[in-house]
């Protein structure tokens, strides 16, 4: 299996809520109706509108949107906690709408873990019992499930807390238990529904880094919901931005910052620091436009970020940096390019 294979493939998925949702869906399939039309004509709310996305193996895919943007509905469509009204959702190559109740339980138990914003720990069970709960309901013997849960708790650094009850833990620790519970059954895909939103900023940042590291180390794929663009950039390999049930743009953090799809996204990314996001290959100009010599210039790779480029220029006293890969020169970054880059603009757009 190649690494770019799509573990989750959402194709034109719609979710419409309301008493007359059947009629509304038929109307959507036949005519091209907007969200406002549906609300006016059928009194139905469109939760997710024509959403398509692919989550690749080993990737952390963030869905960023404000409240009411449909992101929580979208993530629940991925493990069929909510039934889609229209469209197809393939998980590991299987159409999950076609699974019967037992197959769906198997799919959720084995392949799709989920972590909730509210953590949803069972208060009358210890940390260990909570972490082992997924395996318990699958009927795994106590010894075996406790071993798996202990291993998962060790990964999130909670080995010393396994005999405690959830109420004795801080919010950040509780969310680690939630993560351990999802890891215990060793799923390939982890759905994270705003897991860190309720935590204070310092703990949140720490958990973000730990989560990213852990996911990459274990080779898991994750879909991560957040309303915080900083969090999406920090964690996500790719980001989808949602508004009013529609995915407006999908791409890497750099692609979105450099090339926002519309004014809404542009306003969103306006406050994001470019220093670590934009890389040399986005801001460099072609060699032919550089009139000076290239010999004395400091060198960098195409993946060097603006912060590193500024470091090179200030320390060397030169007014440009040459971008090279494998000994071959690709382009030049001048101070002007850097300044534009800090503002999130590239030469092409500024010119």
Contact residues for other proteins (CB under 8 A)?
Answer: 79, 81, 104-110, 112-114, 116-118, 120, 122, 124, 133-134, 136-138, 181, 185, 191
- Produce one character per residue of 74-92: b if its CB has 16 or more CB atoms within 10 Å, e if not: bbbbbbbebebbbbebbbb
**Between 167 and 351, whose beta carbon lies closer to other proteins?**
167
The pair of structure tokens assigned to 63 is 């869905």
* Rounded least distance, CB 99 to other proteins, Å: 11
* Rounded least distance, CB 179 to other proteins, Å: 13
**Between 17 and 116, whose beta carbon lies closer to other proteins?**
116
Q: Are 340 and 348 in contact (CB under 8 A)?
A: no
**Between 137 and 287, whose beta carbon lies closer to other proteins?**
137
* Rounded least distance, CB 23 to other proteins, Å: 22
The pair of structure tokens assigned to 55 is 């989550």
* Rounded least distance, CB 166 to other proteins, Å: 12
* Rounded least distance, CB 235 to other proteins, Å: 20
150 closest CA partner among 183, 173, 103? 183
* Rounded least distance, CB 52 to other proteins, Å: 23
**Between 122 and 154, whose beta carbon lies closer to other proteins?**
122
* Rounded least distance, CB 141 to other proteins, Å: 16
**Between 72 and 346, whose beta carbon lies closer to other proteins?**
72
First to last CA, the chain: 44
Q: What's the rounded Cα separation, in Å, for the pair 310 and 308? A: 5
* Rounded least distance, CB 294 to other proteins, Å: 56
**Between 108 and 243, whose beta carbon lies closer to other proteins?**
108
**Between 181 and 243, whose beta carbon lies closer to other proteins?**
181
**Between 185 and 249, whose beta carbon lies closer to other proteins?**
185
The pair of structure tokens assigned to 197 is 């939103």
Q: What's the rounded Cα separation, in Å, for the pair 345 and 98? A: 46
Q: What is the 3-state secondary structure (H, E, C) of 68-104?
A: CCCHHHHHHHHCCCCCCCEEEEEECCEEHHHCCHHHH
* Rounded least distance, CB 111 to other proteins, Å: 9
* Rounded least distance, CB 263 to other proteins, Å: 35
Question: Please, what is the Cα angle at 231 between 225 and 232, to 5 degrees?
Answer: 55
The pair of structure tokens assigned to 338 is 């850097």
**Between 126 and 259, whose beta carbon lies closer to other proteins?**
126
**Between 39 and 104, whose beta carbon lies closer to other proteins?**
104
Q: What's the rounded Cα separation, in Å, for the pair 172 and 208? A: 11
């Amino acid at each position: 299996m190649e690494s770019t294979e799509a573990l989750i493939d959402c194709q034109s998925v719609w979710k419409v809520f309301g008493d007359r949702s059947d009629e509304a869906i038929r109307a959507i399939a036949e005519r091209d109706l907007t969200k406002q039309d549906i609300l006016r004509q059928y009194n139905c709310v469109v939760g997710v509108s024509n959403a398509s996305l692919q989550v690749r193996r080993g990737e952390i895919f963030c869905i960023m949107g404000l409240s009411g943007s449909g992101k929580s509905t979208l993530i629940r469509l991925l493990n069929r906690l909510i039934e889609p009204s229209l469209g197809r959702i393939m998980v590991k190559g299987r159409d999950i709408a076609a699974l019967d109740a037992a197959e769906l339980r198997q799919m959720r138990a084995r392949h799709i873990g989920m972590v909730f914003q509210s953590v949803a720990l069972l208060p009358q069970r210890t940390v260990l019992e909570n972490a082992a709960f997924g395996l318990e309901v699958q009927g795994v013997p106590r010894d075996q499930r406790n071993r798996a849960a202990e291993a998962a708790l060790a990964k999130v650094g909670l080995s010393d807390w396994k005999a405690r009850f959830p109420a004795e833990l801080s919010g950040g620790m509780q969310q680690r238990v939630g993560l351990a519970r999802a890891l215990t059954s060793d799923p390939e895909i982890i759905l994270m529904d705003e897991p860190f939103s309720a935590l204070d900023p310092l703990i949140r940042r720490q958990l973000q880094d730990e989560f990213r590291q852990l996911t990459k180390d274990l080779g898991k794929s994750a879909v991560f919901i957040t309303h915080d663009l900083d969090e999406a950039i920090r964690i996500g390999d790719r980001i989808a931005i949602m508004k009013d049930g529609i995915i407006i743009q999908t791409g890497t953090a750099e692609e979105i910052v450099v090339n926002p799809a519309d004014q809404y996204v542009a306003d969103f990314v306006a406050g994001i620091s470019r220093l670590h996001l934009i890389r040399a290959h986005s801001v460099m100009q072609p060699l032919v436009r550089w009139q000076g010599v290239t010999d004395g210039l400091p060198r960098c790779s195409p993946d060097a970020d603006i912060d590193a480029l500024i470091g090179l220029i200030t320390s060397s006293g030169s007014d440009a940096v040459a971008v090279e890969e494998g000994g071959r020169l690709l382009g030049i970054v001048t101070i002007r390019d850097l300044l534009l880059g800090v503002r999130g603009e590239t030469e092409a757009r500024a010119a």
